[in-house]
Structure formats: C-alpha cells, structure tokens
Structure 1
C-alpha cells in the first residue's frame, strides 16, 4: 500500500471528511497552511514539521498559530518552496502529473550518506558532491541540477569556488537546513523535536527573564507558607499582585489557586507543555511524563487520594527527615523524596542513608544541598557546632578530630572568607611561574559557568553557531549568542558528565 501524497493539497483535503462544518477553523484554511486531519476530533497535523494542534478557537488564524507553534517549519518560512502543491497546479494541460517524486518524504535522503550516494555520475568538477550533500542537496541526474531535501529548492550551473551553504542561503534563505547551519547533521526524520533541537521564541515578558526580577515581585506574596516564592520564581513565574495569581515570563500563562502539595514545575508543564522555558529547563521527557500523568488522572479521578501527601507531612517529623534537614538539604526536596517513596512502595524510608540515596539519585547532590551560614556568626567556634555536609552524610569520629584550644577565639564568617581569599591569592602562581593547580581548577570551573548569570552551570548549545554559553534558565531570554553575537535559530539541551 502506497503512502498518501500529503504534499498535494487535494490529498490533504480528503482527510477532512469528518471535519465539522461549524468547526472554529475551516478545512480549506488548514489544507492551505499544510495541515491534514489526524482523525482525532479537531486535531490537525502539519505535513512538514509534524506539529499537531487541537485546541482551535473561533477567531484563530491558522497561519499565525502554525507560526507560533513551529516557527522554523518550511511551510511557515517558505510556503512556495517547501514542496506544497496547490490544487490547481497538480497536473499540466495534458493531464500529466507535474510534481516530482516525493523525495522529501523519503527518510533515507535525510541522511547525508544517502544523499552522497546520488552523486555517482556527478559531472561538474567546480564543486564536490560532499559539500552539496552536507548542505542538504541530492543529485537529480540531470546536468548539474541538485535539489534540497527540506525546501525542495533546485540549484544548477555551479561555478568554481561556489560554497554550497552560501548558495543555498542566497536562493532559499528560509530553508530549515539553512537555518540550522553546517554544524548540524540530521540523523533521521524531519521532526526537529526528535533530534532534541528546539526552535527559538522570544519571551512575552522579557523584563522578568531574570530570576532576581521575578523574586522581587513576591515581596508581598500572601501564601508563603503554602507555596515558597523562590520555587515559583525558579519555575519562571512572577507575582501579579492579584490574589495568588502568578504568570510565566515566557509563555504568559497565568496560574492561581495554589495548594500546598502543588509543585510549580509540574503545574507549569501541565498547563503549558509548549512553553520553551519549561522545555529547556526540564526537558521534553519531563513534560511528556507530566502530560501522561495528567491524562491518567483525568481518566481515573477517583484515584487522586491525597494519602501520600498527608503521610509525607507526618514523616517530615521522623528521624530520617530531621537528620536530612540538619545536613542542610532543602525541605521541599526531602518532602518530594518521601512522597515519591510513598507513592511507589507505600512505605517510608527506614534510615537516613536510604533517604539520601533517593534524593541524590533523583536530583543530584548540587540540587539537593544548600549552603547555610551559622545563625550566630560571632559565636565562639566549638566542635559541637561544626557539622559535615557531604553526600555520604558521614559522621565525624571524635577521636580523630583535631584538638581545639580550650579558649576559642571568636571568628566571624567574614573573617574566614577574607582569610580564604588571601590564602588563594598567595597560592595563585607556582614558583616556576606557571598557574597553580588551584588556579587552573578555578579557571576550569569558570568555563563551565553560565556567561549570563555567572551562577549556574552551562547546559544549552546555541544553533547554528554551536557555542555552549548559558544555563537552562537564561537561554530562553537570549536572542544573540553571548560569545559571538550570532542570531540564535535554535537550542539543544546538553548534559556535562
């Protein structure tokens, strides 16, 4: 059975046989903008970028919603060059089909190696087949005509010193392959989401892109005992000074009626799964898990018993939880770990070690621990007030601890910090003039810090320049690469190991 040729508008129109006549948008508008019906009520899918839209409303402009959901779709960027065939142009005057064979729909040609195979009889020595294949072209076996797999653009008459990517950009500037640049190699499929590439979009409220700016809006937050402001700000939300309503700086969705058991990231992903800030900070896998959990709870509303939540609050007063809090681990992290344990096994953590293993396996040590200053900086330094904060939570053996003077001298936190800085400066350079190990280590750590906030670790690669420059929190608010100032066309999340 042959696949339907969905690049033809007439073929796409046949998929709308059960589309309601009183639907918010007409089948004709959807077809013209590249969509076909999936058969799932009012859901339509683009044949080029495969984005699916189902929540249509009266007054919606199909082209505008398509552009917002998939800004680098070839149908959005270059509708006249993406391979779409209008209903009036599907055959010539003699009745012959004028559409080329659906090479773009062939997944093999999206592989550079398979495109290179089409150049066996390449006649033009002015440019190499390798350069053409990398730029997205395959050979049509006609003179020196080559065609792009993504935008269906055809280029011929190659001259000496021509650059395949430059010529591609000059004639078809909106082609998705050109937008991504020569550093990206597409492995399989036309859906950029499958490759982990996320298109860029500017935040709706850029003045709240910085977490500090969002935190300042919570100065009079009325339900701090129910939802802490810092967790909401971390999830991209700022306070609107109306009840308990907060809003995302990027996707502009508003959330309110917060409960104590609500987790901000979860609620943000649940109600706005397409938000680019959530997708970058938490990843598409997390968003998909949230959507599946929401769908499961919608199918079985009676299964939403809050027993694990209530038990978790009781278990926060038990020994393992109290010992974890004494080590400096955030209370919300401990509570979430207990809730996950109750939901999965129905029993609590028996020991501190079990609780710590669950916390660090889920979130990592850096996400779970926080540095806390002593409540009284000027208090005398005593061995009883010193606690080790380590991932192993190892207890200090009093027999092996260094001796402490009988009359300790009061030492403030500021003095300790100043002394540490002086020691670091004196050990900056080795006697032979080379950088010391400490300085070399410091520079390596600085290289891994976000170049915008200088606080979090880098985690996003900008496309097409390829620089690894910002953390997940800062990336959505950046329009130009901080390293080279190049326009950003897309993001890829990375994980340093």
Structure 2
C-alpha cells in the first residue's frame, strides 16, 4: 500500500515545504512523526507523543497510525493502550523495536529528533529510563482485540534510580586508574576516557555504555555536547560518589562561598516562580542560585547574573555565552564546550562595549537577546509546516511570532498545536503582551519630549555641554538632586566628565530634571539650546576609535572616574546585557529592570573586575 497516495493529508504536507525533497522521507525523525499528528483526533486515549516515540506517524485516516520502519498499522485505540508495547508484541522483528531493545535498560532512541539542549528542557533525563512497569496496557490491533503481558521496558526518561542498585556496586573500579584501563576499545573520540573515569564511570565494553563503580548507574548514547560529570550528577544525584564530590571544596576562587554546593543552590529556589519555564535543577546544575527577585539568578563562582528566562533557554549555554571565563563553567563543561558556544556568538563583549556609547535612536527598540532553543534548520521547517501553522500564517500573524509561540508549545508540552483556535488564542495573548510592552516603552519615551531628546542626543551633549555648574545648581535648588549628588559631579576635575555625569543623572531622575535642564540651557547656552530643543539637529562627532584597544582597556575607560547613577556613591561595576551600559554599582543593579540610560530591558548583568 502506498501511504502517500492514500493520505491526501500527508501528501499535502510533503508538497508544502520548500525543503520537500530534503524532508520527504524523514519519517525516522521523531519530531517529523510528531508533526504528522496535527490533525489527529482530539481526546484520544493515547498521546501523539507516545505514538511518535513508538515509531508511528499519523496516516490522516481516523486514528490509524503506521510504523515508519516495519509498516505495521494500528488503530482503534482504547484507554490503557501502550503504543510501544503493542509495537513490540505485534511486530517484534521491526528494526526500530530491535534497536530500542538493544539499548538494554538505558538510553533514549538515537532517532530522537531533539538535540541535548532542547531535550534537557523537556525532561529530567535523556540517557536513563524507568525500570518500573509501564502504566499503560496493550489493547487493539486493526480493530481486533489482543491482550499481551506487560513489558517493563519503556522509552520514557525518568527519575534517578541509583538508590535501588546497591548490588551493582563494583569495588574493583573504585580507583580512577582502574576505570581508565577499561576504555582501551572506547569508540567515541569526542568524549575523553579520562573525563569519564574522573566522573566515576568505567566502560562496559559494549557500544558507548558506561557504569558508575559506586551506584551502578549506567549511561549511554553520548553526544558531542555531553559532559560526563554533569550527566552522572543529573541522572543519579543520589550516588554517594557524586554527593562526596559535590561536598568537596572547589580549588578555584568563588564569589559566593555559601552557594558552592549544588544542594545549597537548589534550596534558594524554594520561591522560584512557577511560570518560569527553566527548572531550578537545571539552573543549580549550571552554577546559578536564585537571588529572590523575579527570575534573577547569579553564578556562585563568577558572580554573573541572568534574568528573563524563556522557553528553550539552556542555563549552561547562557553561562558559556555571557561568562566564558567562569572557572566553574570551564571545570564542569570543559573548554571545548565553551569554545563551541562562543563560536556561535562571537564578539559579544566587544558588541556590548560598542553599544554602550553609541547614540541611541529613540525610534529603534533596544536590542533584546533571543535565547534560541538550538533547533536545526530542517526541524524548524518541520515545525512550521503543519496545516495549523500555515492557517495562522494566512491570517496575517507574523512568522517570527508564530515560530516563537510554537517553539514554546513544543518545549512545554512536547506537542505542536493541533487546532487553529488554540494557536490563534496563544498568538493573540502574545500580541497583547507585546503591545503592553510597547505602550510602556512609549509612555516612558514620549511622556517627556525633553527627556527623549536628551536621551537621543546623549553622546553629542557629552561633547558640547559646557555650562554644567549653573544647571547643577538649579537641580539642587529644586531638590531634584541631593547635595551629595551635586558634590560628586562638581568635584570632577574636567568639564567633559562633569557633563557626562550630569546628563546621565538627568536621564535617571526623569521628566522634572529634563525640564529644569531645558530651562537652564536656554539661559546659559542659547546656541546649544536651539540646536537641541528647537532645530533638533545636534550632531555627535566620533572622537578616538577605541575599538582596536584590548577589551580590558575599553572597560577601564568606560569605568574611569564614573560613579553609580543611582546612589551617586560607589563606582560603577555592572555592565547591562544586552545594551552594554556601565552606569551602576553592584548594589544598585539588582533593583533595576530597565537600563536608566536607554530604557532597554535588562536581560542580564556582567560584573567588571578591574584593578
């Protein structure tokens, strides 16, 4: 039977994509199989996710599915049915089923469409599976009832079972040297036997299976981005070897000693907002602890801060992206992992530095970091090639918004949208949220034309403003600034430094300060007043090009003789991500959600450590 000819639904899907030739026969891809279930009948007793995982794709006819490998067709699903169990019992010689069984009791099918980065967000485990009996039962085959015994093997990724395996303890492998010697025929070049042995693992001699000498936990199906110790700790946190290593004091300097253990960091997430799509365990594993505000986290080692987490974010990737020199990161994930991430996002620090002193165009939204889930081009095409998505595109919704919404749906539930109504509902919600953000920004930017003009021409004012003291005095008289703030600016030895501090202070103080600035400037510098507020034509003339200087020197110049614009006391030390402005100290930064200079959303912070 030609399934393509008998299923207009599948045939239409194959023809709709520009990548049709590339994707046409990719039914071995789990994500592709899942995408065929977009019109699967609702309220079925089995989920499309379990069907796709069991090797089936939807034929488009009633509830009939077919195995991509052996061609087995199943339908008439009933409550309690287990797709994989039925597959194994009815066609045990299927190569897909055989492959699943050959993985023993560990490891997910190598046909899984999800990369480690995405899969980690979907489930607590990739390499290990439950040994407990399945909760689902077998049932019907092509309309005929058949009852089969239950098999304890499933493909679900589940909890750590190391505490159940004391009999598997192998004292002969208790030394690292003994474990290293087992890797003589190790097949993987990208994962070092030394790293595996240090993580308490020894080679079992089959495929890429390794086991822990202490808890007996087994791991397999390694991928290039995996880290031996991280996987061991993630899948078997109750392992005594892992726990003892976690208790050890790190041999590198840390910013927050009290947060250096995984257990201590996890405890900080007791009030972690449930709406945040990134799990505390993932964040703690990557070295982050919760600071108790919104979704702000910091690394115990490098003190790097991140916030505004979204679906698909991988804490390790973001750690390596923004804080590549963190010693904890390098120790756990290795230099190769960090280098790979940095290669994907080159010159981030240079971009921040170049952004921080670039004139701000009030008509351009501040840059917003998009933490992409890391799906490949072909997977994106599959995800966006369902009838439901195409219907939303035809309604006029932006492709970018649809893609973000669909990604969030898949990462949160493991399934794509099945109805246009569900997708449209979420798209409308996303549009409402976007409009609210735009209204908030519009209010902040347009509430005062004076403030908006000052912000837009900030860099040019640094160069041209000379009558600093009269304006400073007026701000003090109006009690817009304190005597301390007045004195800090006045004590600057050079007029350009005074001008810089004054302008940034006006931007922080807001509309009243901007109004006083305008009135004073009209009296003390009529020419500049006319250019700025009447002609609205003031030009910034680039001076010395510092882009060729070392990054440390660029930061040093930014930091030189500059005080925090919030407390006007301590030195600035926090660079905002992604706008790159360096205007506040580490004590004042946590209370800010938007940069006081450009009003861009603060996605993270980088602390500068300069002598």
Q: TM-score, normalised by structure 1?
A: 0.32
Structure (1/2) with the larger helix percentage: 2
